[in-house]
Amino acid sequence: MLSLLWPRDEPALRMRVIAAVTLIVLGKLISISAPLIYKQVIDALSGGMVVVVPIVLIAAYGVANVSAQITGDLRQLVFVNVAQRAIRLTALEVFQHLHRLSMRFHIQRQTGGLSRIVERGTASIEFLLELVLFSILPTLLELVLVCAILWRFYSLDFALVTLLGIGAYVAFTAVVTQRQVHLRREMNQRDVVASIKATDSIINYETVKYFSAERHEARGYDAARRAYERAAIRSQAMQSVLTIGQTVIFSAGSVAVMLMAGRGVVAGSMTIGDFVLVNAYLLQLYAPLNMLGMVYSSVRQSVADIEAMSKLLQQPVEVEDSPHATALTAPYGHVRFERVSFDYDPRRRLLKDVSFEIPPGGTVALVGPTGGGKSTVARLLFRFYDVADGCIMIDGQDVRRVTQESLRKAIGVVPQDMVLFNDTIYYNIAYGRAGASREEIESAARSAQIHDFIQSLPDGYDSQVGERGLKLSGGEKQRIAIARAILKRPSILVFDEATSALDSRTELEIQASLRAVSAERSTLIIAHRLSTIVDADDILVIDDGRVVERGRHTELLCKGGIYAAMWSRQKRKAEAERTDATHPAG
């Protein structure tokens, strides 16, 4: 917080902080002078002075109050740049860190809860900065000044009784609020659970509709909100206890000081103006202290929110660039896996001693049973994870020794599960390469066989695709992914079951485009439909994390092993589908 309040290498912002503190001190001095002027007004009126004297004093009192308000407004205006910069930089730091975290973290995360943590954390930073500078410090300064005045002009007893009352007030507030903080934390936890439930349900809107599960989702969400409701009721009950206790302590302290002042007036050592002055100072002190419970609770809650956000920042970055990492140069796209092993969980090794090579411009396909480790090979190539053993080389460079940014710029991917940004088709294709011209984007769309479809839409390339691309069919989303990969101009292409969402006719139409695109690029194909990889230079069959068969299509069929059995099953299935299409039932 101090680094945000006193930013390094930002002299202009530091000057703003100094100016804000100066205005705080000036404002409090003016605020403290107002009751003194008011006392003079009372004494002047009660002493029978000429009318002009009270009028001047009353005008001075009004000017003091207005000046105190103006200094407060100026203080806010001066400090707003510091506060907003702190929020922006913190939010940016968290955002960038979340993108640096590994795939392992993002697979386990819950989007709704994560966004709530970040939102509350950044909001709490602004709250704490302004609270510490504009509420707590001014109140402490005012307390010191008032006690000094009471001691100097009256007696030490007035200052001690005032301090004792404020001390009891603060101690009671801290004890009760400590309990309330636990309740607030429970409220936050319940709120996060409810947010996760709502976000997850809305994201999976189609699934909810498929299974007519609206009532089930509503019950789950209502249960989460009921838990939040119970915690909120208990928190409000504790707030009522706090308010009642504060009122009792404030009243007792005020009565004690007023009795002392009244006795002084009767004894003739104090005037009516002094009596009013003491009362005005008590009200002036207890006014901000009356908010102490809320302030203390809010500070604790804000600290808890910032702590939760800090835990995100403390999440270790599993995959980092080495200190001496250089940019990848991959003009050929020669990929080599050398005895690669990997595991998500140390208790279960997923890939075991996998070795293969993709020569420049060559095509290698990975096939095999689901869960065998095929997609993991692509994730390791992108360096979403680091290998446990062995190494991955591109044009003779270990991917662990180059920057991740340069590595991923050299690889284009068309994933199996394509999720689009909630923006236009143009934006989603252009995402492949920043700064690409419209002609290049349309050319990529033509290569992906989707340009004509886009032109047929009422808004063309400016058509919105909806949340996660739900306004488009699976095949249309897949073609946009292919166009995006084409636009990127990578030296290495990865097709992770890229045509899995396409029907047979569309698949045939797009296969020629894929072959043309990958003709001069090293290509890794992860395939379920074996018909899409019959022309591959090398086919690897991966089962239980190992390469159990390898060779060209005809060679693997001759072996009569796993690949041949898979080919036979898919062939029979395709023939059955054609038969059903030709001779429909009934």
Average pLDDT (442-466) is 88
For the chain, which domains are there?
Answer: 2-313 (1.20.1560.10), 335-410+490-582 (3.40.50.300)
**Residue 54 scores a pLDDT above 70:** no
Nearest to 402 by CA among 495, 349, 330: 330
The more confident residue out of 186 and 507 is: 186
**Residue 473 scores a pLDDT above 90:** no
Average pLDDT (14-38) is 76
Report the predicted TM-score, pTM, of the whole model to 2 decimal places: 0.62
Tokens 């308000």 correspond to what residue? Answer: 69
pLDDT confidence band for 272 (50 / 70 / 90): confident
pLDDT confidence band for 586 (50 / 70 / 90): very low
**Residue 310 scores a pLDDT above 60:** yes
**Residue 108 scores a pLDDT above 70:** no
**Residue 49 scores a pLDDT above 60:** no
Q: Are 191 and 116 in contact (CB under 8 A)?
A: yes
CA atoms of 448 and 483, how far apart (whole Å) = 5
CA distances from residue 425 to 11, 409, 421, 441, 457 in whole angstroms, order as listed: 44, 21, 9, 10, 11
Q: Are 543 and 378 in contact (CB under 8 A)?
A: no
Average pLDDT (195-218) is 79
First CA to last CA distance, the chain: 74
pLDDT given for residue 147 in this prediction: 78
Determine phi and psi for 341, rounding to 5 degrees: -130, 150
Average pLDDT (162-173) is 82
**Residue 487 scores a pLDDT above 70:** yes
pLDDT given for residue 338 in this prediction: 93
**Residue 291 scores a pLDDT above 80:** no
What would the pLDDT profile of 397-451 be if each residue is shown by its tens digit? 999 999 988 888 888 888 877 778 888 989 989 988 888 899 999 988 888 888 8
pLDDT confidence band for 210 (50 / 70 / 90): low
Average pLDDT (531-539) is 86
**Helices within 47-110 (DSSP H only):** 52-100, 103-108
Q: How many CB atoms lie within 10 A of CB 326?
A: 12
CA atoms of 69 and 28, how far apart (whole Å) = 10
CA atoms of 57 and 267, how far apart (whole Å) = 27
Average pLDDT (491-507) is 71
E strand spans, 359-442: 363-367, 389-394, 397-398, 411-414
Exposed (0-12), middle (13-18) or buried (19+): which is 287, by Cβ within 10 Å? exposed
pLDDT given for residue 337 in this prediction: 93
CA 562 and chain centroid, separation: 46
What would the pLDDT profile of 316-364 be if each residue is shown by its tens digit? 777 788 888 899 888 888 999 999 998 877 777 788 899 999 998 889 9
The more confident residue out of 59 and 425 is: 425
pLDDT given for residue 508 in this prediction: 66
Q: What is the residue-averaged pLDDT of the chain?
A: 79
Percent with pLDDT over 90 in the chain: 7
Q: One-letter amino acid identity for 213? A: A
pLDDT confidence band for 392 (50 / 70 / 90): very high
CA 352 and chain centroid, separation: 36
Which residues are 365's β-sheet partners? Answer: 525, 539
pLDDT confidence band for 540 (50 / 70 / 90): very high
Nearest to 527 by CA among 362, 368, 325, 328: 368
**Residue 285 scores a pLDDT above 80:** no
Tokens of 424: 């236009």
pLDDT given for residue 449 in this prediction: 80
Tokens of 552: 């060209």
DSSP state for residue 92 in the 8-state scheme = H
CA atoms of 70 and 195, how far apart (whole Å) = 41
Exposed (0-12), middle (13-18) or buried (19+): which is 179, by Cβ within 10 Å? middle
Q: Are 309 and 116 in contact (CB under 8 A)?
A: no
The more confident residue out of 464 and 61 is: 464
Determine phi and psi for 436, rounding to 5 degrees: -65, 145
Average pLDDT (522-542) is 87
**Residue 171 scores a pLDDT above 90:** no
pLDDT given for residue 499 in this prediction: 63
Lowest mean pLDDT among 52-56, 66-70, 339-343, 575-579: 52-56
The more confident residue out of 47 and 75 is: 75
Lowest mean pLDDT among 424-438, 460-474, 541-555: 460-474
Which positions ≥6 away from 309 have C-beta within 8 Å? 90, 94, 117, 118, 120, 121, 122, 124
pLDDT given for residue 102 in this prediction: 63
CA atoms of 122 and 89, how far apart (whole Å) = 10
Q: One-letter amino acid identity for 209? A: K
- Most confident region among 134-148, 214-228, 244-258, 407-421 by mean pLDDT: 214-228
DSSP 522-547: EEEEE-SSGGGGTT-SEEEEEETTEE
User: What is the edge-to-edge ordering of all strands in the sheet holding 546-551?
Assistant: 411-414, 492-496, 522-526, 363-367, 538-543, 546-551
pLDDT given for residue 324 in this prediction: 87
Q: Are 118 and 94 in contact (CB under 8 A)?
A: yes
pLDDT confidence band for 498 (50 / 70 / 90): low
pLDDT confidence band for 56 (50 / 70 / 90): low
Q: Are 468 and 428 in contact (CB under 8 A)?
A: no
